[in-house]
């Protein structure tokens, strides 16, 4: 299916920016949301230069009321992409701090539901949730990130049949490492790294094909599934998380 009116959260940088610019074209309307006004404005201008009609709204996905207003006021919507997310990183002594954990859960879970639930309420035909291969394995170096992505993974799979009865298709995206500002600070090897525009093209191809799950690279996902079955003592010291 070809979508013409698309909303994207976290559109001011990284994967969200790449998705916006890949979708941007004449006849396409993009509703972009992000927290950084300057960067969001820059992305909107680039998308307009490619012929798209664009609205840019500065909003934090953790603000439930603001998100309900933004989504409720969109004139039309074919596709919602809940992309906004953050990573805590290992923190001091390889342990996440209290505020880091709470920020990750607030953004990666509450922020996603603040996006998805209003979109479902207005019967948006397709809603895409950006998860991660990290949701397939409990990583000791980033427990909050892994936990939030695992929760999204389970929720999407469980909610899909009910959503379908309401005429809403849910798609879960599980990418591996993507070259973005979030992964730039990672001090460890990141196998299978893709540029954001490469990842965006893979995701869009899967969305247009109507896929319920989009997981890449497949070999990294397979390794994560196997790793999660092993005793934690065997991989607890292995750093890294897909983003």
The CATH number of the domain holding residue 124 is: 3.40.50.720
- 230 in the Ramachandran plot: left (φ > 0), alpha (ψ -120 to 50) or beta? beta
Alpha-carbon distances, residue 147 vs 6, 87, 166, 184 (angstroms): 28, 11, 28, 21
Q: Answer whether residue 186 is part of any domain.
A: yes
Ramachandran region of residue 149, left (φ > 0), alpha (ψ -120 to 50) or beta? alpha
| DSSP state at residue 237 | T
Is residue 240, in this structure, part of any structural domain at all? no
**CB-CB contact of 199 with 18 (8 Å):** yes
> From CA 32, how far away is CA 28, in angstroms rounded?
12
Q: Is residue 212 part of a domain?
A: yes
- Name residue, tokens 């500065």: 58
Q: What is the rounded average pLDDT for all residues in the chain?
A: 89
The residue segments making up the domain with residue 157 are 5-235
Beta bridge mates, 214: 173
Q: Is the residue at 241 inside a domain?
A: no
pTM above 0.85, yes or no: yes
Between 1 and 204, the more confident residue is: 204
Instruction: Identify whether 188 is a catalytic site residue.
Output: no
Q: Sort 72 into a burial class: Cβ within 10 Å, 0-12 / 13-18 / 19+.
A: exposed
**Residue 176: pLDDT over 70:** yes
Residue 242 forms part of a structural domain: no
User: What per-residue confidence (pLDDT) applies to 58?
Assistant: 98
Instruction: Give the pLDDT score at 68.
Output: 98
Asked, for residue 243, whether it belongs to a domain, the answer is no
Query: In terms of DSSP bridges, do strands 178-179 and 194-195 run parallel, antiparallel, or are they unpaired?
Result: parallel
Instruction: List 195's β-bridge partners, or say none.
Output: 179
Task: Encode burial over 31-43: b for 16+ CB neighbours within 10 A, e otherwise.
Answer: bbbbbeeeebeeb
Q: How far is 61 from 125, CA to CA, in rounded Å?
A: 21
pLDDT 10s digits, 33-81: 999 999 999 999 999 999 999 999 999 999 999 999 999 999 899 999 9
Mean predicted confidence (pLDDT) in 91-109: 82
Total count of domains within the chain? 1
């Amino acid at each position: 299916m070809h979508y013409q009116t698309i909303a994207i959260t976290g559109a001011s940088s990284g994967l969200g920016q790449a998705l916006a610019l890949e979708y941007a074209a004449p006849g396409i309307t993009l509703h972009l949301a992000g927290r950084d006004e300057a960067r969001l404005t820059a992305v909107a201008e680039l998308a307009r230069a490619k012929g798209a009609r664009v609205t840019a709204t500065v909003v934090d996905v953790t603000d439930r009321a603001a998100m309900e207003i933004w989504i409720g006021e969109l004139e039309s919507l074919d596709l919602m992409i809940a992309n906004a997310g953050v990573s805590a990183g290992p923190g001091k002594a390889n342990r996440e701090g209290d505020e880091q954990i709470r920020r990750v859960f607030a953004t990666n879970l509450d922020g996603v539901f603040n996006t998805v639930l209003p979109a479902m309420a207005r019967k948006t035909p397709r809603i895409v949730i950006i998860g991660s291969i990290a949701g397939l394995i409990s990583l000791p170096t980033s427990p909050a990130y892994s936990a939030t992505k695992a929760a999204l993974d389970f929720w999407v799979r469980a909610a899909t049949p009910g959503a379908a009865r309401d005429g809403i298709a849910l798609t879960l995206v599980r990418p591996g490492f993507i070259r973005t500002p979030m992964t730039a600070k990672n001090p460890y090897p990141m196998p299978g790294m893709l540029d954001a525009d490469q990842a965006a093209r893979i995701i869009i191809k899967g969305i247009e094909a109507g896929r319920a799950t989009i997981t890449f690279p497949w070999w990294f996902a397979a390794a994560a599934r196997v790793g999660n079955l092993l005793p934690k003592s065997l991989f607890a010291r292995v750093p890294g998380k897909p983003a």
